[in-house]
Amino acid sequence: MIFLFSVALAAPFSPAFSSTEGMVELPWNDFDRLYRTWMSEQDREVAPRAWTLDRAVFAGSVVGTGEGAYATLRLRLRGTVHTRDGWAAVPLLGASAALRSAKIDGKDATLYVQDGFYTLLTDRPGAFDAELDIVVRTFESEGETGFTLPLPAAGATVVALAVPSAEPLAFEVPGAQGLALSSAGDERRVEAFVPAMTSLTVTWRRAVEESKEKREARVYAETRTLVGVSEGVLACKVDIDYTILHAPVDRFALRLPADVTVLELRGKGIRSWAQAKDGTLDVALNYGATGTWKLGIDYERANPAGPLPLVRLAGVTRETDYIGVDARSAMEIVAGAPSGAVPIDVRELPASITGQTDYPVLLAYRARGGEVGIPLEIRQHPDMDMLVTLVDTASADTLVTRDGRRMTRVRYGVRNNRRQILRLKLPAGASVWSAAVAGRAVKVGQGAEAGVVLIPLVRSDASGGALSAFQVELVYVEAGAPLDVGRGGMRISLPTIDAPTSVLQWSIWTPTTLTVLPKTAEGTVHLVTTFSAPPVLPAEAVVTQAAQAAVRAEVANQGETGTLGLGVAPVHVEVPLTGNVTRFERTLVIDEELWAGFDYRGAAR
């Protein structure tokens, strides 16, 4: 883009436009401001994330006691939408809570539920403040009361809760980095500072006087299991996040099915571990762990059918399990009715499960500890034969001389996985003059059937998950009768190849004294004025050194079966292409005869 301005440095701002001169006059300051604005727009980078939540603050109180109690909370969120063009969907809070009202920047807002979260849909970039009034049902178990709430993906979370009670209460917030307790009248208050977590749990119980005896540790756990189903084996990868309160823990007990084999344990400070015959796994640490401690287990089972081999934890106060199942081969997985777990949408699984596999996760479950049974039926289907060699492009040139001889050069762009040779059936009476693979001359073998030649192949290199192509070239000649003066006919054939060809492009070069009659063209290829696309063949330069070495080894190991000579290296032959050209093309050639016929009118020499 080119700007042409006439700049008036001292004159006041008085833009003028002349239709005859096509010029706009701007003062320098206005031009500089316009130019800087345009440049800033060009240099602006796209934000790596469409939105962020900086801080989430929960504040509220508990209403009632017993089974009918519930918590009313006000959630204040501070976020930023980074997308300048288009819409952004910002999940604010898990939809398991009841939403009483929602405001964005002080105005009533309408949210919708997506992937289990109340979600804000906005096209306004920049910072925003959200305020949500919610209600959460409390639970009560063995004298302990509390609630669980899915957390938004905020950088920091603060929880302030007031509970009506005339007696002192003991609060617990698993994962919190700090607790501040206070009281006012008949209210007991807690303020907790929680790092980025997937869920928030707050519990309280009547406080009792601490005895002189050591307090028993309370352990909470979240287990994430990925089960990979492949031929003959189930591969399991488990990550366990322990939250340890009150007292250090230096030993953990787990139970695995007896028919699994543990491959690896990962965890900070593991001194030793042992697996009993019944599958019980004992893990000992060289220190007492408190707060958060992570354990990873890799194990496998030889039989993929039957119930999933899941880890069961011992000595845990509360446990949450997420289970994902992916398929790693061409087999069908049918899940039976689970016990102790509920099926969930795959999108509800933690990213730590779905993010560690490149295979599709087909099944997802959530459990709350205890005995879990998830039966699987594996249906193995027979594999089908797949294509291992493909010719992407075949480019042929046939030179016809006045005395009727024909010289043909055929070049193939080949992608090969594991075949050793390429079989070609030549036209009757043809003699091979030269052959080359990946830019290097080779000798060809003679097949059991007359006219069949065998060309050695190399294996394509894999690049980015795809096979690279290399070039195979064959030059042969045929004898023929001299061309007629006046009207005559001609029929020419190409070799039949035992690999599918995506596109064939064939140019037939005839003497300048000969005129082809297009309306008489026939055959298994189609007469065209120009090719649908220029021929695309792999260059010799892209063939790797490994492929070149393989060709050299193949040439060295060939027997004394050369077409033109015995025990000598073949030479490369060039085809002198000259005269008038007639083009033929064919798409998708699969093991069939290739020929073209046409009439011509020849002039006297």
The pLDDT, as a whole number, for residue 39 is 63
Average pLDDT over residues 585-597: 89
Structure tokens at 223: 């287990």
Q: Are 423 and 498 in contact (CB under 8 A)?
A: yes
The model's pTM is: 0.43
- The DSSP string of 6-37 is EEESSS-S---EETTTTEEEEEHHHHHHHHHH
pLDDT in tens, 354-384: 888 878 888 888 888 778 888 877 776 665 5
Q: Which CATH architecture has domain 389-602?
A: Sandwich (2.60)
- The DSSP string of 120-138 is EEE---EEEEEEEEEEEE-
* CATH 2.60.40.1730 domain extents, the chain: 51-204
Band of residue 560 on the pLDDT scale cut at 50, 70, 90: very low
Residue type at 511 in one-letter notation: P
The pLDDT, as a whole number, for residue 552 is 53
- At residue 555, does pLDDT exceed 60? no
pLDDT in tens, 79-91: 888 877 778 888 8
- At residue 428, does pLDDT exceed 60? yes
Q: What fold is seen in the domain 218-380?
A: Immunoglobulin-like (2.60.40)
Residue found by looking up tokens 């220190």 in the block: 287
pLDDT in tens, 262-301: 888 888 888 888 888 888 888 888 888 888 888 999 988 8
The pLDDT, as a whole number, for residue 270 is 86
SS3 of 554, please? Answer: helix
Structure tokens at 557: 């190991």
- At residue 319, does pLDDT exceed 80? yes
pLDDT in tens, 333-349: 777 888 888 888 888 88
pLDDT in tens, 123-144: 888 888 989 898 988 888 777 8
Exposed / middle / buried, residue 419 (Cβ in 10 Å: 0-12, 13-18, 19+): middle
| Mean pLDDT over each residue of the chain, to the nearest integer | 80
The pLDDT, as a whole number, for residue 84 is 75
Distance CA 447, CA 496 (A): 13
- The DSSP string of 300-366 is EES--SEE----EEES-SEEEEEEEEEE-SSEEEEE---BSEEE--GGGS-HHHHTT-SSPEEEEEE
Number of H helices, E strands in the chain: 3, 47
The pLDDT, as a whole number, for residue 299 is 87
Percent of the chain clearing pLDDT 70 (strictly above): 84
Distance CA 142, CA 316 (A): 15
Looking at per-residue pLDDT, the higher value among 308 and 13 belongs to 308
Per-residue burial over 41-76, b if 16 or more Cβ lie within 10 Å, else e, is eeeeeeeeeebbbeebbbebebeeeeeebebebebe
Average pLDDT over residues 208-223: 72
Comparing 20-24, 243-247, 467-471, which segment has the lowest mean pLDDT? 20-24
Which CATH number applies to 51-204? 2.60.40.1730
Q: Which residues sit opposite 416 in a β-bridge?
A: 389
Q: Are 367 and 220 in contact (CB under 8 A)?
A: no
Band of residue 563 on the pLDDT scale cut at 50, 70, 90: very low
The pLDDT, as a whole number, for residue 341 is 84
